[in-house]
Amino acid sequence: MGRFKPLMDYNDKTFLQNIITNLSTICEQIIVVTGFNSEELKKETLKTVNEEDGSISKKLLFVKNENFEKGMFTSLQKGISRTKKTDWVLYHFVDQPGLPVEFYTDFVGQIDNAHNWIQPSYDNHSGHPVLLRKDLFDPILQADENSNLRELNKMPVVKRKKWECYYKKVLQDIDTPEDYQRSIDPFF
């Protein structure tokens, strides 16, 4: 991107602030796993979140992933290792700031006892974020740090539910300046 993505502007907030604000409506705790620019991210996020709604910051836990250069899976492992007693984790990427708050309510409404992995889909294309039930926490923590969600999804313990939804932004993946321009275009 050429810029620090979590703190880029999206609809008058940062990427991360958009996500945190929305997650705060459904989550008791929000674990923000940091890596590069960890202190700046924490400082700026707390500042902007407190300006908006100070009660949200009470839900935040910042955890630094010292192995962030090894990939996103190590960040998932770090976050899972810091969860309190919870039945579900919503694993969210920072490059999806455009999901509306209604998505999150609809998404957690998909939780059932028959599945331990719930993934949204749009037009038959799998998207993110992903809901993971607690029986997947140990397999995630025990997996090789070079693993990924695709590999995890192949494990026999996974009982996956694909939720076909009407939220196109579950496919959002802002990795380039062109992606960013498309994401702020009202016709996206």
Per-residue model confidence as pLDDT tens for the chain (188 residues): 678 888 889 888 899 999 999 999 999 999 999 998 889 889 888 887 777 777 888 899 999 999 888 889 999 999 999 997 899 999 999 999 999 999 999 999 999 999 999 999 999 999 999 999 999 999 999 999 999 999 999 999 999 999 999 999 999 998 888 888 888 876 65
Tokens of 75: 């960040």
Pairing mode of beta strands 117-122, 125-126: antiparallel
d(CA 110, CA 131) in angstroms, rounded, equals 9
If one counts the domains in the chain, the total is 1
Give the pLDDT score at 36. Answer: 85
Q: Which domain holds residue 148?
A: 5-81+88-183
pTM for the model stands at 0.91
Q: Is residue 57 part of a domain?
A: yes
First to last CA, the chain: 19
> Phi and psi (nearest 5°) for 176?
-130, 165
Q: Is residue 94 part of a domain?
A: yes
Q: Is residue 188 part of a domain?
A: no
Give the pLDDT score at 188. Answer: 52
Q: Is residue 173 part of a domain?
A: yes
Q: Indicate the angle between helix axes 38-52 and 15-23, nearest 10 degrees.
A: 60
Pairing mode of beta strands 9-10, 13-14: antiparallel
Q: Which residue has the tokens 């321009």?
A: 181
Q: Is residue 121 part of a domain?
A: yes
Q: Is residue 133 part of a domain?
A: yes
Give the pLDDT score at 181. Answer: 86
Q: Is residue 59 part of a domain?
A: yes
The CATH number that applies at residue 68 is 3.90.550.10
Tokens of 145: 């740090």
Give the pLDDT score at 156. Answer: 94
